[in-house]
Each structure stands twice: as structure tokens, then as C-alpha cells.
Amino acid sequence: MKKKFSTAWKASSQTRKQRKYLANAPIHTQRKIMASHLSKELRSKYKKRSFPIRKDDEVKIMRGKFKGKTGKIANIDRPRKRVAIEGIQRKKKDGTKINIFFNSSVLQIQKLNLEDKKRVKALERREAIKKVEKKEVKKTDSEKVKEDKK
């Protein structure tokens, strides 16, 4: 366990290795780790349950003191794996306001930021694969019926 990071730790059932995997994960892996569930409408539209969070996504808080509140993502802190939401702040003793950071697992994506073409392709990629698989299954079923008739 001397290495800084290894993808093999993800497969381990040992909690210490799981913790090390999350703590030392590179940024491109942290992005995937910081995913949130999609709302029912988005889930039915894109045929995906969760998707990585991005700035300007509109999210709803599902747990805790601020449960039910919605807002746009203002800031993502990848090393701490936390997300700040616009309009959800607290006052310090000196009167200044600071953002409250949330874990991405507590959030539900209500509206996606689709300005990036690569992100749109990533959403549609899985949907296209499922359509192709369904067509192949239908063809094989119809071929079996034809063979049985002969």
C-alpha cells in the first residue's frame, strides 16, 4: 500500500483501501465519483440514474437542514468532494456570509447545464447503445420464431 494511487483498490473490500482510493484519486476520477442522481423526468428522458455534477446545474437538496431547497451549483471543491449552491449560505459571528458545502450524494439534479457538446453526447451515448441492443434482441427473437415454424 505504498503507492499513491492504484485502480486495483476500487475492487478491494477493505475499507482502508476504499478510503485511500477516494482520498488519492486523480482529478479525472474524482469527477466521476462526484455524481448525483437525476430527477424522475431527467431519468426517464436520458435513461440514466446518475450523472457527474457540473457548475450551473440546477440541483435540489434531498437531506439535512436545507432539505427541499433548490439552486444552481456555484462552486465545486474536488479535493474536499463538496459542492456549494447559490443562495444557500450561513452567517458567521462577525456577520459575513459564507457558502455551505454539500456532498454530491445529498443532491438531486433537476436541470442539466447542456452548453458543452461533449456532455450532451455523453448523455445520449448510452441511450443509443440501448436502442441498438433492443433492435438486436428483437431480431434474434423473430429469427427464433421463423426457425421454429420450419
- Residue 84 and residue 65 share a domain: yes
Total domains in the fold of the chain: 3
Whether 60 contacts 102, CB under 8 Å: no
Residue 82 pLDDT > 80, yes or no? Answer: yes
Whether 77 contacts 34, CB under 8 Å: no
- Residue 109 and residue 54 share a domain: yes
- Residue 125 and residue 107 share a domain: no
Domain of residue 56, residue span: 35-113
Residue 95 pLDDT > 90, yes or no? Answer: yes
Q: What rounded mean pLDDT belongs to the chain?
A: 87
Residue 127 pLDDT > 90, yes or no? Answer: no
Q: Whole-prediction pTM value?
A: 0.77
- Higher local confidence (pLDDT), 2 or 75: 75
Q: How far is CA 65 from CA 52, 77, 82, in A?
A: 24, 21, 16
Model confidence at 64, in pLDDT bands (50, 70, 90)? very high
The predicted model gives 86-91 an average pLDDT of: 94
